[in-house]
Amino acid sequence: MRPGRLIALVALAAVLLAAGCGSGDGTVDRRFLLIGLDGAEWSVVEPLIEQGRLPNIAALMESGVSCKLRSLEPKQKSPVIWTTIGTGKMPAKHSISDYVDPTSKQLLTSNVRTARMFWDILGEHGFTVTVIGWLVSWPAEPVNGTMVTDYFRYRPREDRRTDGLTYPDELVEEVSPLRVLSENIPDEEIEGFYDLSNAMTGEEAQRLDVDRMFVEMRAINELEGHISQLRDHYAGDATFMAVARHLMQRRPTDVSVVYLRGTDSMSHRFWPASFPEEVQVDVPETETRVFGETMERYYEHADVMVGELIEEFGDDATVMLCSDHGFEGPRPGRRRGGINDHGPIGVFVLKGDGVRSGVTIAEHSVRDITPTILALFGLPVGDDMDGEVMRDAFADDFLRAHPVQVIATYEPAEEPGVIR
pLDDT category of residue 310 using cuts at 50, 70 and 90: very high
pLDDT at res. 158? 73
Lowest mean pLDDT, pick from 28-32, 119-123, 141-145, 155-159: 155-159
pLDDT at res. 414? 56
Q: What are phi and psi of 69, to 5 degrees?
A: -115, 110
Percent share of the chain, pLDDT over 90: 85
CA dist 292 → 99, 270, 271, 273 (Å): 30, 8, 9, 5
Query: Who has greater pLDDT, 217 or 6?
Result: 217
- Give pLDDT tens digits for 161-199: 789 999 999 999 999 999 999 999 999 999 999 999 999
Percent share of the chain, pLDDT over 70: 93
- Give pLDDT tens digits for 326-375: 999 998 888 888 999 999 999 999 999 999 999 999 999 999 999 999 99
- Beta strand 345-351 pairing with 65-70: antiparallel
* Residue 7 pLDDT exceeds 80: no
pLDDT at res. 351? 98
Q: In the predicted model, what is the mean pLDDT of residues 61-73?
A: 98
Q: In the predicted model, what is the mean pLDDT of residues 263-277?
A: 96
* Residue 12 pLDDT exceeds 60: no
pLDDT at res. 281? 85
> The whole model's pTM is what?
0.92
For each of the domains in the chain, give its residue range(s) and CATH number, in order of start. 3-8+27-407 (3.40.720.10)
Cα separation, 97 vs 321, in Å, equals 24
Q: In the predicted model, what is the mean pLDDT of residues 409-415?
A: 80
- Give pLDDT tens digits for 362-404: 999 999 999 999 999 999 999 999 999 999 999 999 999 999 9
Cα separation, 272 vs 278, in Å, equals 8
Return the percent helix, strand and coil in the chain, to nearest 5.
45, 15, 40
pLDDT at res. 10? 42
Neighbours of 157 (CB within 10 A): 8
Residue 138, helix vs strand vs coil: coil
pLDDT at res. 14? 40
- Give pLDDT tens digits for 127-137: 999 999 999 99
Residue 237 and residue 112 in contact, taking contact as beta carbons nearer than 8 Å: no
For residue 291, which of 184, 188, 200 has the smallest C-alpha distance? 200
For residue 69, which of 84, 56, 59 has the smallest C-alpha distance? 84
* Residue ranges with strand state E in 43-191: 65-70, 129-132, 145-148, 166-167
Q: In the predicted model, what is the mean pLDDT of residues 22-36?
A: 84
- Give pLDDT tens digits for 205-261: 999 999 999 999 999 999 999 999 999 999 999 999 999 999 999 999 999 999 999
